[in-house]
């Protein structure tokens, strides 16, 4: 597959370890999101690196008014603040359009009129060729990336070796929806490159998205960061905690109990400190990724009641 170098402005900042926490502002910060924030913060800080917050609000239809501000204020109460100005994906459509245009010019992206219903007989996986004609019902097309016969392998710092045959697992995937909204896959790849992210630490629910992102990085000629996927926080019923399901938010007025629980969830040594700053400093000094639980499916959250 041809690579398409994309002009991503070179960061002028320190080129050491750079991590990020990228929540979607669809509700208040809950315990599962706190685990992801703390894991990414500890991983960056333990190596003397930068930690950046980015709001993944590219899908503006899901954004809850005031949620971004509330998340930032809660993170600050928990002792975690972005080292750089917070970036909003909703303000970055122009750079996503540039990346898509370069893929189009090299015939790596193409317009697609297939709906989810059209792809249902294929298990939702887009085949090598569209299943409906370009003129079908006058539909506005989405834009998809060609995956060809790519098999992507990478080493996750927690989950180990991962291998995915993109054609069999996901097929040609969407870069821009028919409604004009750029996909998470495209936005996150472009943003991580521009912000100089060297390690992506996030929940294991995004592990299966990583091969698509690596494939897209290669197509755009962008660097691939290291990956570390954390175990998911589940409700007692086995469902993932979700802002969409109104999981109970963490208490910004009393951060230490939730911080202690999150640190324990990550398998790390307990900190004896009773001040947030000292607690985090001690936790970062003793952070050991090898202690993070490897089973990404069986961890149970704090009860809601």
pLDDT per residue over 49-65, tens digit each? 999 999 999 999 999 99
Angle CA 167–173–174, to nearest 5 = 170
Per-residue pLDDT, averaged over 171-180, amounts to 96
Fill in the DSSP letter of residue 62. G
Question: Domains in the chain and their CATH numbers?
Answer: 18-92+185-291 (3.40.50.620), 103-176 (3.90.800.10)
Q: Are strands 142-145 and 109-112 parallel, antiparallel or unpaired?
A: antiparallel
224: its two tokens: 């691939």
- The three-state secondary structure class of 229 is strand
Residue 224 makes CB contacts below 8 A (sequence gap 6+) with 154, 214, 217, 218
Q: How far out from the chain centre does Cα 24 lie?
A: 9
Q: Is the pLDDT of residue 281 over 50?
A: yes
Q: Which of 99, 131, 140 is nearest to 4 (CA)?
A: 99
- The neighbour count for residue 285, using CB atoms within 10 Å, is 11
Q: Which of 176, 205, 170, 203 is nearest to 190 (CA)?
A: 176
Give Cα separations from 112 to 104, 116, 123, 162 (angstroms).
Answer: 13, 11, 17, 29
Q: Dihedrals φ, ψ of 161, to 5°?
A: -70, 130
Q: Is the pLDDT of residue 3 over 60?
A: no
Q: Dihedrals φ, ψ of 188, to 5°?
A: -65, -35
Is 209 in contact with 185 (CB distance < 8 Å)?
Answer: yes
Confidence of residue 1 (pLDDT cuts 50, 70, 90): low
Distance CA 158, CA 143 (A): 33
Distance CA 190, CA 213 (A): 10
- The three-state secondary structure class of 286 is coil
Q: Is the pLDDT of residue 239 over 90?
A: no
Mean residue pLDDT across the chain: 89
Per-residue pLDDT, averaged over 151-174, amounts to 96
- The neighbour count for residue 242, using CB atoms within 10 Å, is 16
Distance CA 39, CA 47 (A): 13
pTM, entire model = 0.89
Burial class from Cβ neighbours inside 10 Å (0-12, 13-18, 19+) for residue 12 reads: exposed
Q: Dihedrals φ, ψ of 222, to 5°?
A: -105, 155
Each residue's pLDDT tens digit, 133-162: 776 677 789 999 999 999 999 999 999 999
Four-CA torsion 151, 152, 155, 159, nearest 10 degrees: -80
Q: Which of 63, 52, 76 is nearest to 24 (CA)?
A: 63
Give Cα separations from 45 to 12, 69, 139, 188, 256 (angstroms).
Answer: 20, 23, 48, 22, 19
């Amino acid at each position: 597959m041809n690579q398409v170098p994309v002009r991503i402005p070179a960061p002028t900042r320190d080129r050491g370890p750079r991590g990020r926490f990228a929540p979607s502002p669809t509700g208040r910060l809950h315990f599962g999101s706190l685990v992801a924030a703390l894991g990414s913060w500890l991983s960056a800080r333990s190596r003397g690196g930068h930690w950046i917050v980015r709001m993944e609000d590219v899908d503006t239809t899901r954004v809850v008014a005031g949620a971004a501000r509330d998340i930032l204020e809660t993170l600050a109460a928990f002792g975690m603040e972005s080292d750089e100005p917070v970036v909003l994906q909703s303000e970055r459509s122009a750079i996503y359009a540039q990346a898509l245009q370069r893929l189009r010019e090299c015939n790596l992206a193409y317009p697609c009129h297939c709906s989810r219903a059209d792809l249902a007989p294929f298990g939702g996986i887009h085949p090598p060729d569209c299943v409906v004609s370009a003129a079908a019902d006058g539909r506005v097309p989405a834009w998809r990336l060609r995956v060809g016969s790519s098999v992507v392998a990478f080493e996750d710092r927690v989950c180990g070796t991962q291998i995915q045959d993109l054609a069999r697992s996901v097929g040609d995937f969407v870069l821009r929806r028919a409604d004009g909204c750029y996909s998470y896959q495209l936005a996150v790849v472009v943003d991580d490159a521009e912000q100089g992210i060297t390690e992506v630490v996030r929940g294991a629910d995004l592990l299966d998205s990583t091969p698509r992102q690596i494939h897209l990085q290669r197509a755009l000629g962008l660097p691939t960061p290291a990956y570390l996927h954390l175990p998911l926080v589940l409700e007692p019923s086995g469902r993932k905690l979700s802002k969409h399901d109104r999981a109970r938010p963490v208490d910004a007025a009393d951060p230490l109990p939730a911080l202690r629980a999150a640190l324990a969830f990550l398998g790390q040594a307990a900190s004896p400190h009773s001040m947030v700053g000292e607690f985090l400093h001690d936790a970062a000094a003793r952070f050991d990724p090898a202690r993070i639980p490897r089973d990404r499916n069986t961890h149970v959250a704090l009860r809601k009641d």
